[in-house]
A and B are shown apart, each in its own frame.
Chain A
Amino acid sequence: MTRVTLRIQREPFDAAAEAAAVARGRTDVGAVVSFTGICRGDEAGEPIAALTLEYYPGMAETEIGRHIAEACERWPLIGVTVVHRHGRIMPGEDIVLVVTASSHRRAAFAGAEFLMDYLKTRAPFWKQVEKPGGNTWIAAKTIDDTAAERWRAVREDEAAE
């Protein structure tokens, strides 16, 4: 049974505690991968005062949950934790956490990367930056779409084998 935790919250999270919780009390976990996305102090070469993340309550949970289920179907994951913050976030603060646990490292690495690529392009969150000159919405990046699309291609290859 995969241990799944999904939270969308305004408050900060403790990445180390979340990573430890995934494997606590079990001996079948051989690998834990933990990725934390952090708010940088600059955007497109300009300093920023803060980020504000807006999200679509209801859909965000559904969409992330669906991708966690897909990750569990594709790789033998024992535990998955996704925590995504919303609201105002200062440079240096954590934004998002993905933790995956598996018996072996490859599944844990792949599952975490897959989930992050999908969070970037399919989870209904939008980032606005506060700059000295005013607030602007961050534009979606083609490189993120390409990263997410890659998993579809991999899946088609797997199906063809």
Chain B
Amino acid sequence: MKVTLRYFAWVRERVGKTDEVIEVPSSIATIGELMDWLAARGDEYAYAFENRKVIRAAIDHVHVRPETLIGTASEIAFFPPMTGG
């Protein structure tokens, strides 16, 4: 299944790109598992996802938790805790 990944703020800086399209391996079911898989893709990903507890995620513009199933997501975003307002 192809999914667009988007990165923001320091997650974007560490990964070194704003977005990419990936083929999610069928063995990956949850957001947490996807983060583990991404962290093993290279040094820049390992750095971006070194502290997975602080990283937030959204599926198709809705906040989700690490245990959330990816399901039929078309866009998954990873970012630090928000600092708007």
C-beta contact mask, B1-34 vs A, less than 8 Å → 1, else 0? Answer: 0000010111000000000000000000000000
Q: A119 with B77: in contact, given A56-B8, A63-B61 (CB under 8 Å)?
A: no
Interface size of B by CB at 8 A reads: 16
- Whether A62 sits at the interface, judged by CB under 8 Å, is yes
Whether A140 pairs with B85 at a CB distance below 8 angstroms is no
Q: DSSP majority for the A interface?
A: mixed
Whether A140 pairs with B77 at a CB distance below 8 angstroms is no
Contact of B82 among A37, A58, A116, A124 (CB under 8 A): A124
Interface size of A by CB at 8 A reads: 28
Number of interchain pairs (Cβ within 8 Å) = 71
C-beta contact mask, A115-142 vs B, less than 8 Å → 1, else 0? Answer: 0100111111111100000000111100
C-beta contact mask, A42-68 vs B, less than 8 Å → 1, else 0? Answer: 000000000001111011001100000
C-beta contact mask, B24-58 vs A, less than 8 Å → 1, else 0? Answer: 00000000000000000000000000000000001
Spell out A's residues near B (CB within 8 Å).
37, 53-56, 58-59, 62-63, 84, 95-96, 116, 119-128, 137-140, 144
